[in-house]
Amino acid sequence: MLYGLKQSFKEWQLKFKTFLDELGFKPLILNSAVFYNLDNNIFIMIFIDDYLFIDFNINKINVVKRKIVKEYVIKDRSPAVYFLKV
């Protein structure tokens, strides 16, 4: 839908950030690519179209992922071994 547009990445980020805000996630002040939800203690790190969910409780992460799946098509690539090849 947005592919090929010069501002497509920016528009996608704005749309997804609005959605995360509706779920109770707020961006960190020092890094707007990291979102947190203090109610659930979940962090989401964003790099272009890759997302890393961070929490010790996989059940809480799965609840958030189910909410995202209701709105967007995502691929769950299982627990991360590395992120951004670091």
At 55-66, the pLDDT tens digits run: 989 899 999 999
Q: 16-62: per-residue pLDDT in tens?
A: 899 999 999 999 999 988 999 988 889 999 887 788 899 989 899 99
Domain boundaries, the chain: 8-71
Q: How far apart are CA 68 and CA 18, in angstroms?
A: 12
pTM as predicted: 0.79
Contact partners, residue 36, CB within 8 Å, separation at least 6: 25, 26, 28, 42, 43, 44
